[in-house]
Amino acid sequence: MRFFVRRIIFYLITLWAAITINFFIPRVMPGDPVQAAIAAAGGSISPDAIPALEALFGLDPDASLWSQYVDYLGLLLHGDLGVSFSYTGFAVTDVIKDALPWTIGLVGIATIISFVIGTLIGSGIGWRRGTWADSLLPISTFFSAVPYFWLALLSIAIFSVGLGWFPASGSYDRNMAPNWSWEFVGSVIYYGALPALTIVISSIAGWILGMRNMMVTVSSEDYVTVAQAKGLSERKVLFGYAARNAILPQISSFALSLGFIVGGTLVMEIVFSYQGIGFMLFNAVNAKDYPLMQGCFLVITLAVLLANILADFVYGVLDPRTRQEG
């Protein structure tokens, strides 16, 4: 239990840190871009929303930093992230609520697929060192070095513009109204296939290389040799001993690099104009929609934290040593 308690405390600290960073960024920036933006927006922002924006961005010069901070935390606790400048009249939380499922669906599923397949391939390559499988390494190295968004550009050029197999942008056929019909779900899958495939291809190399190195390290552990000495089948030794233990550090690194991967995949949404959080963040930056920017960052961080907690939980289940008392 102590393991989980420690981790939960850590995540609470991280969440607090992310919120605090978010609080300070607009306050330490030179100039007063938000004030200017509100002025520029003129009457389009309803007067009721102004106090919340002032609290979020520290626009009230009379309030002390501490009282600003308390107000800010109070707003967040109520789920109030202010109103969006660009989506006039909408609260940031509502705007994000519309985008989040798309990101979780695309980035979440693609990342998990990539992790699972990459880990499997990596264990195979690590297990069969010194065979043809090693020749997969240079290819993986190449793919782990290219930026995600460039692969996205390439795949659009080839599969949408060139071959015309997939649409180049969007998340479903705009002629349809979102509903739970097969037709609509099919359209979502059709539009999501290319971005998902691109995410998988660009992030899989990292998992392959990581797992391969862990397999090489774990394979030389004595318990793997003991498993062979016992005459267990190859499959048992590989999945029960070598890969079973190599996956533990792989999960830790999954948790740690999640922030990095999510960052990279969000850019994919931009390239594919996919209506998720990343695309929204991009639009918010371009439109100087500061409340939405801040909100997107907080939600992304929160999502990454939740995924981390999940990874930790899986780790705890897989490694009995973490459940040790004391």
Residues 223-252 that bind another protein (CB under 8 A): 223-234, 236-237, 240-242, 244-245, 248
Cα angle 54, 56, 62 (rounded to 5 degrees) comes to 45
Q: Tell me if residue 173 falls in helix, strand or coil.
A: coil
Residue 166 and residue 159 in contact, taking contact as beta carbons nearer than 8 Å: yes
**Position 10 contacts another protein (CB under 8 A):** yes
Axis-axis angle for helices 2-28, 65-77 (nearest 10): 120
**Position 17 contacts another protein (CB under 8 A):** yes
Beta bridge partner(s), residue 165: none
Chosen residue from 39, 153, 176, 306 binding another protein by CB under 8 A: 153
Q: Tell me if residue 91 falls in helix, strand or coil.
A: strand
Chosen residue from 8, 260, 310, 313 binding another protein by CB under 8 A: 260
Chosen residue from 122, 192, 195, 264 binding another protein by CB under 8 A: 264
Chosen residue from 178, 183, 217, 306 binding another protein by CB under 8 A: 217
Give the amino acid at 66.
W
- Chain-centroid distance of CA 133 in Å reads 30
Please identify which residue in the block is written with the tokens 């705890």. 316
Binding range to another protein, per CB under 8 A, among 71-79, 117-125, 194-202, 313-321: 313-321
Binding range to another protein, per CB under 8 A, among 70-78, 80-88, 180-188, 284-292: 284-292
- Chain-centroid distance of CA 244 in Å reads 25
**Position 285 contacts another protein (CB under 8 A):** yes
Q: 97 or 129, CB closer to another protein? A: 129
**Position 308 contacts another protein (CB under 8 A):** yes
End-to-end CA distance of the chain: give it in Å, rounded.
9
Neighbour-count burial of 4, counting CB atoms closer than 10 A to its CB (0-12 exposed, 13-18 middle, 19+ buried): middle
- Minimum distance between the CB of residue 164 and another protein, rounded to whole angstroms? 12
Chosen residue from 207, 271, 274, 291 binding another protein by CB under 8 A: 271
**Position 259 contacts another protein (CB under 8 A):** yes
Counting runs of H as helices and runs of E as strands, what totals does the chain give? Answer: 14, 0
Binding range to another protein, per CB under 8 A, among 22-30, 95-103, 112-120, 193-201: 22-30
- Chain-centroid distance of CA 291 in Å reads 20
Give, as ranges, the residues between 171 and 200 that touch another protein (CB under 8 A).
none
Residue 122's contacts (CB-CB under 8 Å, 6 or more residues apart) are 207, 208, 209, 210, 211, 212, 214, 215, 250
Q: What is the DSSP string of 33-98?
A: HHHHHHHHHGGGS-GGGHHHHHHHHT--TTS-HHHHHHHHHHHHHTT---B-TTTTT-BHHHHHHH
| Separation CA 135–CA 150 (nearest Å) | 24
Q: 15 or 73, CB closer to another protein? A: 15
Please identify which residue in the block is written with the tokens 């639009």. 283
**Position 290 contacts another protein (CB under 8 A):** yes
Chosen residue from 8, 21, 39, 189 binding another protein by CB under 8 A: 21
Give, as ranges, the residues between 116 and 145 that touch another protein (CB under 8 A).
127, 129-132, 134-135, 141-142, 144-145
Chosen residue from 40, 116, 154, 185 binding another protein by CB under 8 A: 154
- Minimum distance between the CB of residue 207 and another protein, rounded to whole angstroms? 15
**Position 31 contacts another protein (CB under 8 A):** yes
Give, as ranges, the residues between 56 and 75 that touch another protein (CB under 8 A).
none
What's phi and psi for 319, nearest 5 deg? -115, 105
Binding range to another protein, per CB under 8 A, among 47-55, 117-125, 195-203, 267-275: 267-275
